[in-house]
C-alpha cells in the first residue's frame, strides 16, 4: 500500500464522533450530535473567512458538521443567527471544540 493510501486510510478510519449535549436535550435525554472528522480543507475554508478574533467560526463549525444519526444536518442556515445570539457561548465553545478535536471521545476515555 502506498504512503498516500495509508494517509487516506487513517483519515477515513477516524469514524464518526458522538457528542452528547445535555443542555440542548429534551425529556431528560441529551441531544446527540454526530460529526465526521474535519478535513484540512474544511478547516482552511472556515478559518480563511474568520477574523483574528472572530468567535463566530465556532458556530460555523457546528452548522457545517453537526448531524443526526441519519447523517442529516441538524441546523439550517437560518439557525446560525440564533446560535450566535441566543445560545450559551460555553456550550457553543464546548461542542465546536469537540467537533474540531480529531480524536473521538471513546478513544480519549480508553487512555
pLDDT of residue 31: 97
Q: How far apart are CA 84 and CA 72, in angstroms?
A: 21
This prediction has a pTM of 0.81
Please report which helix (H) or strand (E) contains residue 46, including its range: helix 40-48
Q: Which residues of the chain fall below pLDDT 50?
A: 104-105, 108-109, 111
pLDDT of residue 102: 58
Contact 75, 41 (CB under 8 A): no
Q: Which residues pair with 32 in a beta bridge?
A: 20
* pLDDT tens by residue, 35-46: 999 998 998 888
pLDDT of residue 76: 96
pLDDT of residue 95: 96
User: Grid coordinates representing 61?
Assistant: 463549525
Domain annotation for the chain: domains and CATH numbers: 3-103 (3.30.2220.20)
Please report which helix (H) or strand (E) contains residue 83, including its range: helix 79-85
Q: Which residues pair with 26 in a beta bridge?
A: 29
Amino acid at each position: 500500500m502506498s504512503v498516500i493510501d495509508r494517509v487516506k486510510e487513517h483519515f477515513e478510519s477516524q469514524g464518526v464522533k458522538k457528542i452528547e449535549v445535555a443542555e440542548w436535550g429534551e425529556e431528560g435525554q441529551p441531544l446527540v450530535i454526530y460529526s465526521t472528522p474535519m478535513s484540512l480543507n474544511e478547516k482552511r475554508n472556515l478559518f480563511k473567512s474568520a477574523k483574528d478574533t472572530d468567535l463566530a467560526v465556532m458556530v460555523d463549525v457546528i452548522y457545517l458538521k453537526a448531524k443526526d444519526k441519519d447523517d442529516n444536518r441538524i441546523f439550517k442556515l437560518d439557525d446560525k443567527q440564533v446560535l450566535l445570539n441566543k445560545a450559551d457561548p460555553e456550550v457553543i465553545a464546548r461542542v465546536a471544540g469537540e467537533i474540531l478535536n480529531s480524536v473521538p471521545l471513546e478513544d480519549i476515555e480508553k487512555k
